Structure 1
Amino acid sequence: MSDQLPSGGIELSPDEIEALHARWSSCWSPSEVAQQLAGISTPWYVAAGWALDLFRGRQTRAHGDIEIAIPASSFPEVRNRFPGYVFDAAGSGRIWEDATPEVLDAVHQTWLRDPATGSYLLDVFREPHDGDIWICRRDERIRRSYSDIIHRTQDGIPYLAPELVLLFKAKHARRKDQADFDATVPHMTSAQRETLAQLLTRAHPGHPWLADL
């Protein structure tokens, strides 16, 4: 991904950003996403708050949207699974509707929109990678094989390892992120907690969560 945002797009006011929440009210569940992507060859996983609920085995809070992540180069394969829908790129308070390849190269977040209703159904992160190696977009020194970072529920829904979900949440540590940390850590193995501590030390030295690990 480029470090410079492309030109164009729609700049959103704070009120417009707030109003976007209503457009996510019809977003899919993890099982519905898995049905849409059944049999696809590229690795993918549920990310963010939903991933932690899948790890814990139950939904623990309301989710305003659903996010998945894929290798950036696999986006055409994923896009082909959704004929009749539109992908908008989003970043830094802007939206690029029906995003062009130039925009997709520069913005990693992509929202699947139903053009008939205007509703957003799925947020797709297009992540950096080196072949089968996932690269953390926050710190490219952190690299893992997809086989190591993707876990699965009993019914086969793939989700990101909890220690990596919490690594992403650590940057802002909003109220919901703190709640996710508090609810998830007791369910993690000692090895997972140790890995999270190592990653936090590397990416966010001195982070307050380290004291609880």
Structure 2
Amino acid sequence: MSEQLPPGGAELSPAELDSVVVHWAASAWTPSEIAQRLVGVATPWCVAAGWALDLFRGEQTRPHGDLEIAVPAADFPEIRDRFPGYAFDAVSSGRIWRDAAPDVLAATHQTWLRDPETEAYRVDVFREPHDGTTWISRHDPTIRLPYREIIRHTPDGIPYLTPELVLLFKAKHARPKDCVDFESTVPFLTERQQAWLAELLAHTYPGHQWLDGL
């Protein structure tokens, strides 16, 4: 994806961002709800971010302000076609493009599904870089893995991103809630998973503060 953002879009003020956060918290679907709407899609998709860690642990451990899923960028049309009557707004660097055009989608990776009737956002779709069936980390393109190795499933079939990669993404900013997620998830990882996470962190963020906890 291009680093040069397209023209247009609207800059979100702090007040507008706060309003979006409130809308998200009140209107976001749950993992079960998005899974029901995506039954039968061929593309490998998965729940990402904080919800993925809760699916891994088997219970909701904290409130979630939104729901994020990840899909291969080239397969986004299959996801989009599941939501006739909804709008997809692209978001990047504090700007939002309502009903994003193809050139905007090509230059961004984050897409908010909006209900035009209520203006409520339901799910945040990450359109991820990939090479066919190989996932590519957007933070470090040298990290490439087959989708079959990075997507797990709950007992009732909800796909979610493996926790090592969720924590790797969270390590970039390591906000307070990210640190809480790290500390509460690591005890549930096997030794092999902890070793892989340590390897990923050392490769992507040498000297990261979380390495001492692995």
Above 0.5 in TM-score? Answer: yes
Give, as a single letter, the amino acid of the residue that structure 2 aligns with 1:146: Y
Give, as a single letter, the amino acid of the residue that structure 2 aligns with 1:80: D
Pairs within 5 Å for 1:148-159: 148-159=149-160
Deviation (angstroms), 1:173: 0.5
Deviation (angstroms), 1:126: 0.2
Give, as a single letter, the amino acid of the residue that structure 1 aligns with 2:4: Q
* Residue of structure 1 in register with 2:126 after alignment: 125
Aligned residues: 213
Deviation (angstroms), 1:164: 0.2
* Residue of structure 2 in register with 1:79 after alignment: 80
Give, as a single letter, the amino acid of the residue that structure 2 aligns with 1:148: E
Deviation (angstroms), 1:21: 1.1
* Residue of structure 1 in register with 2:40 after alignment: 39
Alpha-carbon distance in structure 1 between the residues aligned to 2:201 and 2:111: 27
Pairs within 5 Å for 1:43-192: 43-192=44-193
Segments of structure 2 that go 5 or more residues without pairing to the other structure are none
Once the two structures are superposed, what CA deviation does each residue of 1:131-160 show, in whole Å capped at 9, x if it has no partner? 000000000000100000000000000000
Give, as a single letter, the amino acid of the residue that structure 1 aligns with 2:132: G
Q: TM-score, normalised by structure 1?
A: 0.99
Deviation (angstroms), 1:26: 1.0
Deviates more, 1:10-19 or 1:96-105: 10-19
SS in 2 for 1:200: helix
Alpha-carbon distance in structure 1 between the residues aligned to 2:110 and 2:100: 11
Alpha-carbon distance in structure 1 between the residues aligned to 2:79 and 2:135: 17
SS in 2 for 1:139: coil
Matched, 1:8 2:22: no
Deviation (angstroms), 1:206: 0.1
Alpha-carbon distance in structure 2 between the residues aligned to 1:169 and 1:209: 11
Deviation (angstroms), 1:19: 1.2
| Moved segments of 4+, more than 2 Å | none
Alpha-carbon distance in structure 2 between the residues aligned to 1:3 and 1:93: 14
Alpha-carbon distance in structure 1 between the residues aligned to 2:130 and 2:172: 21
Segments of structure 1 that go 5 or more residues without pairing to the other structure are none
Alpha-carbon distance in structure 2 between the residues aligned to 1:190 and 1:143: 22
SS in 2 for 1:144: strand
